[in-house]
Amino acid sequence: MNFFDHQDRARRQTRRMIVLFAIAVVAIVVAIDGVLYVAMGVGNGRHAQDAGAAMAGISVVVLLVIGLGSLYRVASLRGGGAVVARQLGGVQIETDTANFAYRRLRNVVEEMSIAAGVPVPEIFVLEEESGINAFASGYAPTDAAITVTRGAIDKLTREELQGVIGHEFSHVLNGDMRLNIRLMGIVFGILVIATIGRKLAELSGRSRGRDSGGMVLFGLAVFAVGYIGVVFGRVIKASVSRQREFLADASAVQFTRQTDGIAGALKKIGGLAEGSKLASSDTEEVAHMLFGDGVGYSALFATHPPLIERIQRMVPSFRAEEFDAIASAWSRPVRVGPEESERADVSIGGFAPMGLRSFGIAADVAMLPRADAQLRLSPTGVVSQVGHPGLDDRSAAAQINESIPQALREAAWQSGQAMPLIFALLLNDDLAVRELQLAVLDERYDSGTRALVQALATELRGLHPMLRLPLASLSFPALRRRPRPHLTVFMETLRALIDADRRVTLDEYCLAKLVGLQVMDSLRPAATQPMSSLKLPGLVAELKDLLAVVARYGHDDAAGAQRAYALGLREVLPDSAIDYSPPFDFVGALDRALPRLDHLAPAGKELVVRALTIAISADGVVSVAESELLRTVCAALHCPLPPMLQRAA
């Protein structure tokens, strides 16, 4: 199942969830109306007439309470995934942390982000939780947060942690996080009804009025109905969650291209006494978001499939007796020194089981192509990479991460240097143009900013072009923490720097567009997944302009560009015959087309990505700059591509 199938499945699950919860809400309204009818007296004509009016009113009130309660809970989470992490007591891992285990955790997450082609999420640790667990939260990749427990840090090796983080990145990429927030909101709305019933019974019980006894009974009945509704809501939530966990496990295996990591993490959950349980009182609300069962529900309410079943899907020969060996080995873990911290059996927190020997895992490192390389892409391979990075992508991400100079990585991590770093990436090599750009910085910022930009520009000399966009992505966690007014000025400055010489190059457009997408999506995370209401035949003008721009910039001669355009158009609109006419203003054309194309259904986006790959590689070769354009366009369509695109055999 590829990215687009996952997206389509997530949308179907959302519709199914809405229908099931709608049925549950209607049942609650009917039940409360029945309680009210009985309370007001059955069989008495006048009371029955009064009950009918009261039932109509109470039905409206119940619907409003559930709706407003759900909206309130969802609105309280609009600040992004970090809100959920902090509510559970998460400690944010700063980009410049000196803690060895935190730096190793951040390194794993950064590599996964680069491999997946998405912004680096914020990272949190639940320091008080000794169980092995993790979760991803947020609305979209641009506001995502990855949270792991102290137990995961102390007990999981790097390989196992990669499996867990790969599982969580599957939820990030496949639209599961938004569904999780909706599940939290709707169940909370139903819970409000039970809470109101309990409060009504408590207050009426303290009253000495003549009707207080009846109100107590009515309150208790409303509480019972509301709580039964919550129970059914949790059953629905659990049934949706279980299937998505199997899919996320499979995605993690594809991501890391081996089963030992995620299977090893699951085995430790089953073998160690702490398991995956969380001590927080808020665990139930987020139970469906966790890597492992954090509550310990029975089968009906279980948000995760049985642990042994999850393991045996990846390791069919596994037997439950192996849990005992794991428990024995980790009964008295020992802390190792820095010289042994990279051993394959040592946790990222620096602990190792007693008596186990070290074994090495050879890393298959993918080399970056030359800056002037001409690549040969596989349209089918590129489409399969969208939202589904594999081992090659992870190896390439590790190579990219290691290839970025440490000084630039640290600049990307720091709040005071992230913006100047992006400005430095846009400085022109032409000295006259560069002076115009520096004058723009003088108008909007102080002299210290100008000096820092110039210093960073010196550090950027000779940087491989494929490292520019990953470096910009590393700066995203620092950027997103800046106040909105600062980000507004930042975006205006980016546009001014690009327009300084009154022309826009392809690499300038890609960098500014990618940064702009990430920043704007982080400012409005709840709106980053538009309704998929448009079809390909209704977007002919947008497809024409997009394919024409890609064909034009992918080919040196007009005849080759026209042929590439026709091949791409045939893939996405086989029955259309539209002349090739590249827009004069490619920036304006793309800025108009991409937001509209982002409203396509997943199947339509899959065809668009395939058509773009065919058009850009019609002459048999693709430059590094052209591949970055393809990645940028895919990012605008919320179809993240890894940095190393699948090449043709």
Least Cα distance to 285 among 74, 143, 124 occurs for: 74
Three-class secondary structure of residue 23 per DSSP: helix
Distance CA 328, CA 354 (A): 9
Bridging pattern class, strands 145-149 and 122-126: parallel
Rounding to the nearest 10 degrees, give the CA dihedral for residues 520, 522, 526, 528. 50
Cβ atoms of 92 and 413 within 8 Å: the answer is: no
Distance CA 530, CA 521 (A): 12
Phi and psi for 391 in degrees, rounded to 5?
A: -60, -40
One-letter amino acid at 526 equals A
Distance CA 38, CA 43 (A): 9
Distance CA 304, CA 405 (A): 42
Among 168, 245, 542, 628, the active-site one is: 168
Cα 426 → chain centroid: 27
Q: What is the H or E stretch that residue 623 is in?
A: strand 622-623
Least Cα distance to 381 among 553, 638, 627 occurs for: 627
168 as an active site residue: the answer is yes
- Convert 324-339 to b/e letters by CB count within 10 Å (16 or more is b): eebeebbeebeebeee
Region of 209 on the Ramachandran plot (φ > 0 left; ψ -120 to 50 alpha; else beta): beta
Least Cα distance to 356 among 157, 165, 130 occurs for: 157
Rounded to 5 degrees, what angle do the CA atoms 123, 311, 141 make? 25
Distance CA 111, CA 394 (A): 7
Least Cα distance to 517 among 562, 553, 472 occurs for: 472
DSSP, res 404 = S
Distance CA 43, CA 464 (A): 84
- In 64-198, at which residue ranges do the beta strands (DSSP E only) sit? 91-92, 122-126, 134-137, 145-149
Alpha-carbon Rg of the chain, whole angstroms?
28
- In 312-409, at which residue ranges do the beta strands (DSSP E only) sit? 334-335, 351-352, 374-375
Cβ atoms of 585 and 549 within 8 Å: the answer is: no
Active site residues: 168
